[in-house]
């Protein structure tokens, strides 16, 4: 069952926001979906978009500028939330923005008190795709995935960790090696515990080092991104892909930062790139 919170006409399609009770997180979860106009009975490919720290579905829905490109490509665009939410859901005890609600890091937590509700991997790998396949004209044999920052991390690790699920993967300003940066170390320690071996499948660089593979990756990153050197470290992904023989297109965009001004500037490129691979 899903509840329709809103639906509006846009770019020859329907932009909706929906809520449902999640068994993975034991909370209500909200997601948005854009569905282009299509002939009755047609099933459309799906592009998943995973958002970054502090974001909900709303950031990309309102600022991502993907609808015209998705309508032209005949592609559904789904944007889930970044974590469970609610008064009963634990949050960063220090009240900071880089952990807890809004910062699920797309893992299934194993440490209390996070393990009951912070199960974003299961939510995205299993529950939400099944729901989308049931309620929307989605062809789940044709899926691709992208994301921004923490969501870029999630897109990469889900694609690497679910071989054959996604026909293509891209990212905007991804956290490529969370084990090696402050944002990631804080989250993985609290969600997964002190044993760093358990972190590796949720670290794109480590997963590639351990043998996980995709055919190719597209990454855009701004060279004026304030988080570039401390938190993102794209050079680590570049080296891992070179060693593994993964075709990485890493585009360093001059003058762009970490914001949706940057993401929206290159969103159509990513949609077209995924559409080409979904059509094969």
Q: Is 225 one of the annotated active-site residues of the chain? A: yes
* Active-site residue, 258 included: yes
- Catalytic entry in 148, 153, 202, 258: 258
User: Choosing from 51, 220, 225, 274, which is the catalytic residue?
Assistant: 225
Q: Which of 149, 168, 170, 173 is catalytic?
A: 149
Q: In angstroms, rounded to a whole number, what is the distance separating the alpha carbons of residues 54 and 260? A: 13
Tell me if 169 sits within 8 A of 159, measured CB to CB: yes
The strand order across the sheet containing 44-50 reads 3-10, 13-21, 28-36, 76-80, 44-50, 138-147, 168-172, 216-222, 247-253
The reply to whether omega before 113 is within 30° of 0 (cis) is yes
3-state DSSP assignment of residue 280:
coil
Handedness of CA 136, 140, 144, 148 (dihedral sign): positive
Which residue in this structure is represented by tokens 């992208």?
A: 146
Distance CA 159, CA 191 (A): 20
Tokens encoding 100: 């807890």
Asked if 57 and 79 touch (Cβ cutoff 8 Å), the reply is yes
> Catalytic amino acids?
149, 225, 258
């Amino acid at each position: 069952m899903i509840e329709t919170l809103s639906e509006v006409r846009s770019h020859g399609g329907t932009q909706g926001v929906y809520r449902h009770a999640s068994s993975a997180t034991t909370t209500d979860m909200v997601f948005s979906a854009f569905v282009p106009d299509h002939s009755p009975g047609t099933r459309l490919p799906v592009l998943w978009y995973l958002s970054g720290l502090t974001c909900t579905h709303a950031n990309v829905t309102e600022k991502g500028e993907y609808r015209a490109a998705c309508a032209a490509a005949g592609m559904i665009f789904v944007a889930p939330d970044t974590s469970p939410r609610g008064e009963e859901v634990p949050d960063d005890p220090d009240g900071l923005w880089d952990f807890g609600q809004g910062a699920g890091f797309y893992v299934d937590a194993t440490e209390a008190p996070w393990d009951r509700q912070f199960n974003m991997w299961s939510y995205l790998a299993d529950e939400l795709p099944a729901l989308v396949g049931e309620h929307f004209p989605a062809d789940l044999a044709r899926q691709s995935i992208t994301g921004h920052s923490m969501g870029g991390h999630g897109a990469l690790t889900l694609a690497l960790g679910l071989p054959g699920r996604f026909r293509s993967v891209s990212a905007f300003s991804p956290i490529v090696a969370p084990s090696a940066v402050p944002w990631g170390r804080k989250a993985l320690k609290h969600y997964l515990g002190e044993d760093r071996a358990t972190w590796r499948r949720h670290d794109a660089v480590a997963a590639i080092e351990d043998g996980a593979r995709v055919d190719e990756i597209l990454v855009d990153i701004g060279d004026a991104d304030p988080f570039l050197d401390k938190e993102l470290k794209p050079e680590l992904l570049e080296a891992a892909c070179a060693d593994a023989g993964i075709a990485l297109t890493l585009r360093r965009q001059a003058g762009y930062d970490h914001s949706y001004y940057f993401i929206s500037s290159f969103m159509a490129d990513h949609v077209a790139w995924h559409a080409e691979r979904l059509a094969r």
